Structure 1
Amino acid sequence: MKNIQSNTEMIMAERAKRIEIEQKYMSVIEHNLDPIFTIQKDFKIIYANNAVHTTFGYRQKELTGRSIFNFIEDDKNKDFEMYLRMAFLGEAIELEGISFFHKKGQYLPSYMKTIPVAIMGEVQEVHLILRDTSVQSKNNERLLFLSFHDQLTGLWNRRALKEHFDGDTKYPLCKDENISFVHLDLDRFKTINDSLGRNGADEILKKVAERIKTVCPKNGSIYRTGGDEFIVCLRNYSIEQTEKFVQKILSDFSKPFYFEHQEYFISSSIGIAVFPDDGTGLEELLQKSEQAVQYVKERGRAHYRFFQEEMNSSFSDVALMEAHLRRAIEFDEFEIHYQPQVNLKTGQIDSFEALLRWNNRKFGFVSPAQFIPMAEESGFIHSMGDWVMDQVCKQLKEWQGKNFRPVRIAVNISPKQFREGSFAQKVNFLIEKYGIHPSSFEVEITESALMHMGDTLSTLESLKETGVTISVDDFGTGYSSLSYLKQYPIDIIKIDRSFIKDIEMDQKNEAIAKTIINLAHNLGMEVIAEGVERELQVKILLEANCHKAQGFLFSKAIPATEVVKKYLV
């Protein structure tokens, strides 16, 4: 009796253990996040877990008894059957690129793994574990798109340009086939950046890209290769056709771009290099198209030129000049000249504008219009600006130490330098270092700097705490709101020379100048007119109660030794 009871208990224990194993096994299958089908030797489905419904939309009862081949693309059935037969022979297999039919009617790309299920050494069933790779495929497609496209504009990027060029030139071209590389570089886009900020400038760049798209022919491709640079590749375009295309772009760019209901005008300098005439390598062609762009910029911008060999020397001079510019401080090639600012009522002079001059051992006297933009683009403007401020403070210290009559000197500050977080601290340090009267040092900022409200206000307030004088240069040419003037601690407004140039002949310029003068008076600010060259201009400015003026009528910028002889002794 005891033996019977003992055997029964053993059988019950084994059965319970077997049930536990089966339930664990089914739990692993049922709760697996990947869809799992179980098929038998005739390839019919006998089981599908919950993930099958989640991924492919089918319930268990819709699948049971149906052939697995009903859900696979017809052109893959042969290969698929071969792999299943291998699985029933006991081989586990992984398979990519299988498309499984979704209940809603589309095929989903899937990854599949076969798991043979052997009972007593014989494979009775096969589990098919599938994974929907459509999301991964979309991500891969997106990554592929991003790797070859500019994220801001959606245009092709530089990597795509290289890939396309390699493909286009892989096989020898017929003698009448060519590729024109049209290199567009937006003129003075930094002004837009300074005025509108990064987000606003990005919106303008999108509009520029759209405008280029509207004129680009079907056999042309557009690439954004830099911040404000674009390349248009025209395949099998003659010189005449390329010229017509470029002229169309220049014509379209003469129309305004709109941002937040405001008009902005942007021109482009364009250089063109042609494959294979100007070179057979991509970098060579891009360099030559850039040389042509530089040639256009040096001759007035907003035009186009095809590359010519003589441009090589001028382009290398630019690189060489930049190298010399970076050593100008070390070799003592800079000198500061001072242009007097004349009190129009009294004729007295008690303020000057500091202007940098560069006399290079190779290039001779280089125009500020040439080397200052170069310093801006290369980043050397920070070191150069710091040197100028130091020299001006040193000069003021010398004159104050000799008890010359008090004067004020204005220093033009680059927007990049002004936006340095430590700019106000630098000025304060120099004033303390040389022990000069703070009000004798004038910080002259461009109107575009007023756009960056938070940082600008903080910096200007710090400067005013130090006691320096603050002026706004080129007033009337930027995009700032007049309401900023009442919020910032500004002492002086300088009327841009473009409004003074024809003031005696252009009633609009006269009206603008008088409006600015009146505005300055009402805000308690001093006003200085720049670029005065004729007596009649002085007469009009006097009648409008303009405080001061500077220009060639009174004096060009002169060295410090001449300032002492003419105005201080």
Structure 2
Amino acid sequence: MNIQDSANKPKIIFILLIFLFAEILSEAISYIFPTVSSHLVHFVILLGSIVMVFFLLRGIVKTGEELESSKQKLKNIFDTLDVAVWSHDLKTNTLLITPGIEKLYGYPKEDFYKDPTLWKKVIHPKDTDILTERSRKLTLGEIVTSKYRIIRPDGEVRWIQDRGIPTLDKNGHFVDFSSVLFDITGRIESEDRYKTLVEMSPNIIAVISGNKIDYINETGCKMVGASSQEELIGESIWSFLPQNLIDAIKSKQLDTDKEGRMKIEFAVKRLDRKGIDVELTAMPILYEGRPAYQIVGKDITERKKAEKTIEVMAYYDELTGLPNRHMFKEHLSKLLNESKNQTLAVLFLDLDRFKIINDTKGHSIGDVLLQKVADRLKKAVNNNGMVSRRGGDEFIILLDHVDKQRVIEISQCILDEFSYSFNLNQQEFFVTPSIGISLYPSHGEDVETLIKHADTAMYLAKESGKNTFQFYTAHLQERSSRKMELENGLRKALEQNQLLLHYQPQVDLQSGEIIGVEALVRWIHKEHGFISPAEFIPLAEETGLIVPLGKWVLKEACSQMKSWHDQGFAKIPIAVNISVRQIQDDHFVDSVKRTLKEVGLEPTYLELEITESVMQNIEKSTLILKQLKELGLKVSIDDFGTGYSSLSYLKHLPIDNIKIDKSFVDDIIYHINQGVMVKTIIDMGINLGFNVIAEGIETKEQVNFLKENACMVGQGYFFSRPLTADKLEELFKSGQMTVV
């Protein structure tokens, strides 16, 4: 029987429609705004409905015409809603079905009037088990929300949310129910896709509220050693965090951005009590209507190990395990800054006759000898200071809180330690030290001056017969006369055309093809002849002449490469060394841009090589490097591994290549570790997305090792010495672009 046939009860039906519409409206609001309390929505709308009914019963709708008009308006509202309403009076078997049923189910409305059980018949077979529980709850007078799939006539499967509202008579008998039906297919599919992405994510994803775990994905479970999510849901996060982080959270000392997000790194305690390093980002969200934090993170244990490796490389000598020169300088600088009243001594030590042993017996014997020398130095100095290795057979020792007499005693103790032989491979070797000493504050008040004066004094010790020690004196300043002469000469060198560039090919290790060249500056002094770059480049750095010198080198190199391109030779890039002092110049980027424009060289054919010391002022250097990259040129880290490289900085620098220093390449055949450090640098560079270039290659054995470990580019005497522009041009003209 259709409810439209009951014209004799218009007011009662209209009242029923009001309550039914109120329920539909509350369901719609709950669907659209899931965080709003459904009980509150129902209460407010029900109260409004009661008010409406009250006025209705007082005679607001007084005539049949008004009733029909209101019914038509209500019908129009039902027709526009994207929901369906089903109301079934069990006593009279009266149905009320809104037109929305056709859109949801795909069947004509009349089919449901003909067969009131049709809605059950189209439920997906896998979801029919919900009907029993749904019927039981309705019979008890409970409102029940069900989610199930239906199969439409065209075979399409849709998800339906069914809100069933029962009516009981005064005796508590179940006499009527209404259902509000929504198509939630889009929401279900979206939730499924999101859930799949979250569960398959290689990152940790979790939700924390009230300091307890509300949700965590499979990656997060594995990270902390849990076999299932059930082990973690509801657990306190405090059990996984270190105490210092717990204290910071409770005292709200963690930094957050304007959206309330925070990014932290810390060691997580796994269920098996092992520790791993993680990087997490936490952001505030609402989860099921309550404040919570969404956590996204990743396991950075391996990255931390790599950073530790780099830190060890930066601050400790790999061969001897002693602090290196960088750590020595930092420690000395710290002592100088902490107190101006204490006395300090810097001992610069060089081994006599070591080079003879190293060259005749091989680097493996030399390495072991250096290790034993380090042990004896530590024994002699004991707890009086720091022993560090500067490089090669040079060591620097820092003695703090000592007077001159105590320095003499310790220096003599060092000499005594070298008075007996070193036994290596059943052979006896004798080496002695020459020691130069500078005292703070009488011989200098800063790090560089103290080291320089100790170095100067060491040469006096060698000239005095070796195996002795000498203090720095003012007379040694005469040794600086050549240095001053070179400084004055360097200022005139550019004007007098004493500088020129040589070019060393960079080679594809697989094919032997020349794929680039590096420009190297040379100085031919009109009186002293060839001056080594190892002598005048540090002088240029110290005096500030490196800035005009660098500008000349850059323009000369770019002009030469442009000329070769114009002559039709292969378009390969040219690499130019840039000092940190040049980068720190405020006009450096403009200078590079102007040079490229004046010369006409495309930026893509210019590569700037900088040293790791650029990280000493990481913020400014990063800004400058980004500006250089925006010009279109490439940037490389030169002499990688000899300076300070923190992965936390290096991975963010806008660089293309890292160049392995020659000292590490030499280790491939001469070092007891047989190239382990080279392989480590190659692997790290590749993992960070950099191209790796090896310099100083001299043997086929080194080439083979580099190729086997995926280093693709190299340069060195094995391929070619640095060539003049004319010599390299002859090579280009011959068409011979391979050098092996």
Q: Where in structure 1 do 4 or more consecutive aligned residues deviate above 6 Å?
A: 193-196, 207-211, 229-235, 248-251, 289-292, 297-300, 307-310
Alignment CA distance shift 1:339-1:194 (3 Å): farther
Alignment CA distance shift 1:547-1:209 (3 Å): farther
Alignment correspondent of 2:658: 493
- Does the 8 Å CA contact 1:475/1:493 hold for their aligned counterparts? yes
User: Which is greater in Rg?
Assistant: 2
Alignment correspondent of 2:499: 334
Alignment CA distance shift 1:313-1:341 (3 Å): same
CA distance in 2, matches of 1:230, 1:379: 32
Alignment correspondent of 2:588: 423
| 1:539 to partner: Cα distance | 0.9
Q: Deviations over 1:39-90 (max 9, x none)?
A: xxxxxxxxxxxxxxxxxxxxxxxxxxxxxxxxxxxxxxxxxxxxxxxxxxxx
- Does the 8 Å CA contact 1:438/1:466 hold for their aligned counterparts? yes
Q: Deviations over 1:416-444 (max 9, x none)?
A: 11111221221111111111011211110
- Does the 8 Å CA contact 2:580/2:614 hold for their aligned counterparts? yes
Structure 2 residue 605 is the aligned partner of structure 1 residue 474: no
Alignment correspondent of 2:180: none
Amino acid at match of 1:478: G
CA distance in 1, matches of 2:712, 2:567: 28
CA distance in 2, matches of 1:290, 1:476: 24
What's the secondary structure of 2:493's corresponding residue?
A: coil
Alignment CA distance shift 1:322-1:250 (3 Å): farther
Alignment correspondent of 2:549: 384
CA distance in 2, matches of 1:400, 1:436: 9
Structure 2 residue 368 is the aligned partner of structure 1 residue 203: no
Q: Deviations over 1:391-434 (max 9, x none)?
A: 11111221122121112111111111111122122111111111
Structure 2 residue 456 is the aligned partner of structure 1 residue 294: yes
RCO comparison, higher one (Cα < 8 Å, 6+): 1
CA distance in 2, matches of 1:318, 1:384: 17
What's the secondary structure of 2:686's corresponding residue?
A: helix
CA distance in 2, matches of 1:194, 1:379: 25
Alignment correspondent of 1:53: none
Alignment CA distance shift 1:204-1:306 (3 Å): closer
CA distance in 1, matches of 2:635, 2:543: 27
- Does the 8 Å CA contact 1:334/1:359 hold for their aligned counterparts? yes
What's the secondary structure of 1:552's corresponding residue?
A: coil
| 1:269 to partner: Cα distance | 7.9
Q: Identify the match of residue 490 of structure 2 among 318, 321, 325.
A: 325
Alignment CA distance shift 1:205-1:440 (3 Å): farther
What's the secondary structure of 1:508's corresponding residue?
A: coil
TM-score, normalisation: structure 2: 0.40
CA distance in 1, matches of 2:624, 2:327: 19
Alignment correspondent of 2:690: 525
Alignment correspondent of 2:166: none
Structure 2 residue 516 is the aligned partner of structure 1 residue 351: yes
Q: Identify the match of residue 541 of structure 1 among 689, 702, 706.
A: 706
Alignment CA distance shift 1:534-1:245 (3 Å): same
Structure 2 residue 624 is the aligned partner of structure 1 residue 459: yes
- Does the 8 Å CA contact 2:569/2:732 hold for their aligned counterparts? no
CA distance in 2, matches of 1:514, 1:435: 39
- Does the 8 Å CA contact 1:295/1:311 hold for their aligned counterparts? yes
Matches within 5 A, 1:2-401: 192=326, 202-203=333-334, 205-206=336-337, 212-213=343-344, 243-244=408-409, 246=411, 270=436, 293-294=455-456, 296=458, 305=470, 314-401=479-566
Amino acid at match of 2:603: P
Alignment CA distance shift 1:507-1:526 (3 Å): farther
Amino acid at match of 1:527: V
Q: Deviations over 1:122-145 (max 9, x none)?
A: xxxxxxxxxxxxxxxxxxxxxxxx
CA distance in 1, matches of 2:468, 2:622: 39
Structure 2 residue 726 is the aligned partner of structure 1 residue 561: yes
CA distance in 2, matches of 1:202, 1:292: 16
What's the secondary structure of 2:574's corresponding residue?
A: strand
| 1:512 to partner: Cα distance | 1.7
CA distance in 2, matches of 1:193, 1:444: 24
- Does the 8 Å CA contact 1:296/1:305 hold for their aligned counterparts? yes
- Does the 8 Å CA contact 2:504/2:721 hold for their aligned counterparts? yes
What's the secondary structure of 1:431's corresponding residue?
A: helix
> Number of residues paired by the alignment?
335
- Does the 8 Å CA contact 1:270/1:293 hold for their aligned counterparts? yes
CA distance in 2, matches of 1:382, 1:305: 36
| 1:271 to partner: Cα distance | 5.3
| 1:294 to partner: Cα distance | 3.2
What's the secondary structure of 1:205's corresponding residue?
A: helix
Alignment CA distance shift 1:420-1:554 (3 Å): same
Alignment CA distance shift 1:210-1:411 (3 Å): farther
| 1:494 to partner: Cα distance | 0.4
Q: Identify the match of residue 669 of structure 2 among 496, 504, 507.
A: 504
Q: Identify the match of residue 434 of structure 1 among 568, 589, 599.
A: 599
CA distance in 2, matches of 1:308, 1:202: 22
What's the secondary structure of 1:326's corresponding residue?
A: helix
- Does the 8 Å CA contact 2:667/2:673 hold for their aligned counterparts? no
Alignment correspondent of 1:484: 649
- Does the 8 Å CA contact 1:195/1:451 hold for their aligned counterparts? no
- Does the 8 Å CA contact 1:293/1:304 hold for their aligned counterparts? no
| 1:554 to partner: Cα distance | 1.4
Alignment CA distance shift 1:511-1:477 (3 Å): same
Alignment correspondent of 1:413: 578
Q: Deviations over 1:214-266 (max 9, x none)?
A: 999xxxxxxxxxxxx9999978x7xxx87435567999xxxxxxxxxxxxxxx
- Does the 8 Å CA contact 2:346/2:438 hold for their aligned counterparts? no
Alignment CA distance shift 1:412-1:313 (3 Å): same
- Does the 8 Å CA contact 2:438/2:472 hold for their aligned counterparts? yes
Structure 1 unaligned runs (5+)?
Answer: 1-189, 217-228, 252-267, 274-281
- Does the 8 Å CA contact 1:195/1:478 hold for their aligned counterparts? no
What's the secondary structure of 1:357's corresponding residue?
A: strand
- Does the 8 Å CA contact 1:195/1:480 hold for their aligned counterparts? no
| 1:548 to partner: Cα distance | 1.0
Q: Deviations over 1:77-131 (max 9, x none)?
A: xxxxxxxxxxxxxxxxxxxxxxxxxxxxxxxxxxxxxxxxxxxxxxxxxxxxxxx
CA distance in 2, matches of 1:437, 1:303: 57
